[in-house]
A and B are shown apart, each in its own frame.
Chain A
Amino acid sequence: MEFKNDLGKPWKYEEDGYTVIRTSVWSPPGCHPVGCGLKLYVNKDGILEKVEGDENDPITKGRLCVRCLDLKEVIYNPTRVLYPMKRDPKYRGQADKWERTTWEEAYEMIKQKREYVIENYGVEAIAAFSGTGRNGGIMVQEFAHEVLGTPNACYTQSGYACYTPRAAATAAITGCYYPEIDYAGGVEGTYDNPDYKIPEVVVLWGKEPLPSNGDGLFGHALIDLMKRGTKLISVDPRVNWLATRSAIHLRLRPGTDTAMGMAWLNVIINEDLYDHEFVENWCYGFDELKERVADMTPEKAAEICEVDAETIRKAARMYANAAQAGIAWGLAIDQNQNGTQAAQCILSLIAITGNLDKPGGQLVGEAKAAEPAVDDDMTSTYAATGHQLDGWAALGEELRNKTIGMKEYPLYVNSIRNAHADLMLDCLLTDKPYRIVMGMIQSTNIFAPTNSAESKKWHQALKRLEFVFATDVFMTPTIQACADLFLPLKCAPEHNSINYTHYSGSQIHFGITNKAIEVGECKSDVEIAVELGKYLGREQYIKRHTDEIAWLNNRRAQRNLIGGGKEDFYTIREKVHIQQGRKYYKYKTGHLRPDRQPGFLTSTGRVELYAYMFEGVGADPLPYYQEPPFSPHSTPELAKEYPFILTTGARTYAYFHSEHRQVPLLRELNPNPLIEINPEDAKELGIVDGQWVEISNQFGSAKLKAKVMPTVRKGTVMAQHGWWFPEQDGNEPNLYGVWQSNINTLIPNHYNGSLGFGAPYKCMICKVTPLKENYDVDMNEIQEKFKKVVD
C-alpha cells in the first residue's frame, strides 16, 4: 500500500486545525542528544495535542521510542512544578512548606546569597552540581564558571564514571574526541551515500545501545546496519537481545575488560593482522605496546575473564580481518577502576587495525581551524571540540587552582574543568580544604541512584550547605531534602535549542529544537543562565549572550557548524536536521589539528599507543590489567560473605536514569525495580521469579524484585538503577522511598583509577537475601495520581 507522508514539509505548517512544528529534541525530559525528529501538533489554545515521529529526520525517519511517544504525560503531568518555589531552609525535607515565588525574587535570593558567600568565604565556596545526559547538563561549567564565578563545577558520580573517562582517554591518546561507530548519520542519504561503507563487523563492548542511545548514537541504527549485512560481536557478561543475534559473544567476568582488550591486541599483533601502513605512519609506541601485551595470551585472559581462549582468538581475528569495522564501546568501560586502561586497549585496537576515521569504521570529530581564543593550558580535548573555554580561562589561575581535586587529579580537573567528584564529597563532609557553603543542583537528582556512590553520604553532605537552589521539571528526593529554591525547567517542546550528537565534540547529526508551546512559568537552562548572569552583573550576559537566541548563536549555532558563523538560529531552524557531510582520513588532510598539519593532536603527532599524557601525570603509559577492587580474587574473605558480583545500571526503554517514574504509561512498562538473577542461584536461595529480595554489602543495601533470567551469569546479579517512588510520601525521612531500592548505596567512593576516572558501578560484590514482603506498586494508584491534565 502507498501511504501519505510529510516529507519535505516546512518546519512549521498548518494541518486540520493544528499548527504543526517540526523539531529535533534532546531534553528535558532526559535523553541523550540523538535529536530525534518530532512533529508537534498544537491546537488553537496552544496545547500540545499530538506527538508524531518526523519522517524528515534522516536517521530516525519517523521512528520514536516510548519516552517521546508519551511526552504529553510528562508535560501535562499534574505533579510537574510550573512556578518558581521557595522554602525556608529550616523546613528542608518538608514537602508542604514550599511557597510560590517569582523569578525576580528567586534571582534576588541567589544574588544576595552569592554576595554573602563571596564576602565571607570566597567564590570557590559555591559549587554547581550536574547530572548526566540532559541538554542543560553540559552547561554546568557555564553555570559554575561564568554565571556564578566559581571553579567548582561538579558531576557527582564517583570517578565521573560515565562517558568522560572514555573521552578523556581518547583525547590523551589520539588528540581527538570520542570515536563513534560510523552509521552514516552525518552524510546525505545515510547508508546509501556513495562515500559510505557498511561496517562488516560491529563490536558491542559493554554497551546495550538499543535502549540507551548512549551519547546520541541512535541505538536502532544497529538494526539498520544488521539488515544491510553487518555482523555483531558482543563483549558482555550478560546475554542481552543483541547478543542473541551476535556471531560471537564473549561473556567475560564483570570488570575484566582490560585483560580481554590486551588479549585481542596480543592476537592481532602476534598473528600479524594489523594495518602496517597505519601503524608505521601514524602510531607511536607500537613496540612498547607489543611488549606489554605479550604476556596477555588468550589463555591467560581466558582464565581472568572466565571465557574460552579460542573464542577470544576468533573474535579478535573477525574484528581485525574485516575490511572496515567499528567498536561501540560503552559505559562498562567507565564503570571500572581499570577502565582507562580498557579504553586504552580499545583505542589501540581501533588504531592498529586502521579503522580510525575510515568509512564504516570509527568516526572522530573535525578540529576547528582557529586557535583557541586564549592561551589557557587546555588539553587537546577542547582544542578538538567546540566547547567554550572562555569561562574557565576567565577564572584566572589562582581560582582554577582552588578547584577541588586540582592537586590530586590535575588531568581530570583540567581536561573536563570539573571538581573531582569523590573529593568534592569529602570536602562537603569535612570542610577540607575549605568549606562549600552554597550549591546549585542543576538538572540532577543526586542521590536517586544514578549520579552518586554511597548516596546517603551525599544526602548528609548536601544538607550541610547553607543555601541550595535547584533546576528541574519535577520535585525530586534530592531537592525535597536539600534545596531552598526550585527553578522550574521547560521541556524540549517549550524551548528553542540546538543539539548535537556527542555534545558537539564528535558530532554526527546536528538538530534544531523549535519551540512549540508554553507551560506555566518554566524557563530553559539557557534562559536561566542568561537572566541570572545578567542579574548577577556578569558582563558576557549583559553584552554578548543577551537572550536565548543570542546565546544559541554565540555558543551553539556558529561555534559548532563546520564553516560556521554564517547562519543564525532563525535560518538554521528551518532545516531542523542538518547533516554536515563527513571528511574521512582527516589525519592525512590536517583536519584533526587546529594548525591544519597532518597527523594527530598529540605531542608526537601520532596516536600514542604509549601515552605520554598519562606518563606526564605519573601514571603508567601502557595498559595493564588490574583486578576489580572487590571480587572473589582481590577480596576472597569478603567474597565469602558477599558471594555475588553486582553489576548496576541495567537499561530499560521506559526510563532515562531516575526520570519518568511518575509517567503512567511508561511506569506500566516497568512498574518495579528489577534485579536479574540466574535460575540456579535463585533456586539455591529459594527465590522465585517476581519475589522481592534484598541485596547488601559492606556499604549499603537495596530491595528489588527478582527477575529470574538464564541470561545473567551464575554468581552475578544485574540491578536497575535510578529508582525512587514519586507516589510515596515525599517528606523526610522517606523522601519518596529513595532509600528503598537505592543500589548506589552499595557502591563505594574513592575506588577510582590512577587518573581519577572510573568507579566500580559494574563490578561490585553483594549478597542476596529473599524477602517475604511484597513492595509491588499499584498501577491504578499511579494512573490516578499522575494522569495528565490539560487546563
Chain B
Amino acid sequence: MAQYGLLIDYELCTGCQSCEVACKVEHDFPVGKWGIRVFDDGPWQKDDSNDEGSSFNWNKIPVPTDLCDGCEDRVNAGKKPTCVHHCLADVMTFGTLEELSKELAKKPKQVLWVIK
C-alpha cells in the first residue's frame, strides 16, 4: 500500500488556521483537540541592520497531530483531505510519498509530513 504524505510550502503559509478548523469540523473535535496545528517560528529578528519586515524570521508551519487520520474517509471517496481543500494560501498538497518527494526537491522552504 502506498504511503501518503502532506507537502507544505511554508514560505507562503500565512497562518490562517483554516486547516485547523476544517479538520476540527470534519472530525467533530471539540475545543482542546486538534488534528493539525499551525506552529509559529517567530517573529524574531534575524538581521539587526534594519527593522524592515524582511529582517524578521516568521514561518508558520502546519503539523499533523496524533489525531490526524489523513482524512481517510474523504481520501477513500476520492476527495482531498479537508485541510488541503480549504487552505487559503493553497500551499498544502496531499499525495503518495513517491510523488511528493519529487515535488519537495523542486523548491526550498517546504516540509513533507508522512501520514501515519
Contacts and interface: CB of A to CB of B under 8 A. Distances in A.
Given A243-B52, A782-B31, A783-B31, A210 B14 contact: yes
Contacts of B20: 66, 669
Give the contact-size bracket for chain B: 35 or more
Interface in A1-53: 1, 3-4, 51-53
B12 A226 contact: yes
A779 B90 contact: no
A407 interface: no
Contact of B86 (A3, A63, A666): A63
Interface string A766-791: 00000000000001101100010000
B58 interface: yes
Interface of B: 12, 14-18, 20-22, 24-25, 30-32, 42-45, 50-54, 56-58, 60, 77-80, 82, 85-91, 94-96, 99
A664 B24 CA distance: 11
Given A224-B90, A709-B43, A779-B31, A239 B56 contact: yes
Contacts of A249: 52-54
Interface in A642-681: 653-654, 664-666, 668-669
8 contacts: A4-B78, A51-B25, A62-B86, A219-B88, A239-B43, A244-B54, A653-B17, A654-B17
A245 B53 contact: yes
A244 B32 contact: no
Interface string A704-746: 0000011100000000000000000000000000000000000
Contacts of B43: 239, 244, 709-711
A164 interface: no
A469 to B, nearest CB: 35
A66 B17 contact: yes
A69 B78 contact: no
A65 B30 contact: no
Contact of A1 (B22, B52, B53, B96): B96
B17 A246 contact: no
Contacts of A63: 18, 85-88, 90
A710 to B, nearest CB: 6
Nearest to B60: A241
A518 interface: no
Nearest to B89: A223
A246 B54 CA distance: 6
Given A70-B21, A246-B53, 20 more contacts: A4-B78, A52-B82, A63-B18, A65-B88, A66-B21, A69-B18, A211-B16, A220-B90, A223-B89, A242-B53, A244-B56, A244-B58, A246-B52, A249-B53, A249-B54, A669-B21, A710-B45, A780-B32, A783-B30, A783-B31
Contacts of B89: 220, 223
B62 to A, nearest CB: 14
B16 A66 contact: yes
A3 B53 contact: no
B81 to A, nearest CB: 10
B85 A1 contact: no
Contacts of A239: 43, 51-53, 56, 58
Contact of B78 (A3, A220, A251): A3
A427 interface: no
A713 B91 CA distance: 30
B25 A69 contact: yes
B25 A1 contact: no
Interface string A232-272: 00100001111111111101000000000000000000000
Given A1-B99, A69-B21, A710-B43, A664 B52 contact: no
A711 B56 contact: yes
A3 B90 CA distance: 15
B78 A668 contact: no
Nearest to A711: B43
B20 to A, nearest CB: 8
A239 B90 CA distance: 23
A65 B16 contact: yes
A227 interface: yes
Most buried by B among A69, A247, A249, A308: A69
A4 B79 CA distance: 6
Given A69-B21, A251-B52, A710-B45, A52 B12 contact: no
Nearest to B100: A1
A240 B53 CA distance: 7
A234 B96 CA distance: 38
Contacts of B56: 239, 244, 710-711
A64 B22 CA distance: 9
B18 to A, nearest CB: 6
Contacts of A779: 31-32
A710 B48 CA distance: 12
Contact of A52 (B78, B85, B99): B85
Contacts of A782: 31
A224 B88 CA distance: 10
A220 B18 CA distance: 12
Most buried by A among B31, B58, B78: B31
B70 to A, nearest CB: 12
A223 B22 CA distance: 20
Given A653-B17, A710-B44, A62 B85 contact: yes
Contacts of B51: 239, 251
Nearest to B59: A244
Most buried by B among A62, A242, A243, A244: A244
Q: Which 6 A-B pairs have the closest CB atoms?
A: A243-B53, A249-B52, A4-B78, A783-B31, A66-B21, A249-B53
B86 A53 contact: yes
Contacts of B21: 66, 69-70, 665-666, 669
B90 A241 contact: no
A241 B58 contact: yes
Contacts of A211: 16
Contacts of A308: 50
B17 A669 contact: yes
Nearest to A6: B79
B84 to A, nearest CB: 9
Contacts of B95: 1
A633 to B, nearest CB: 21
Nearest to A71: B25
Contacts of A234: 53
Interface in A305-346: 308, 311
Interface string A57-88: 00001111110011010000000000000000
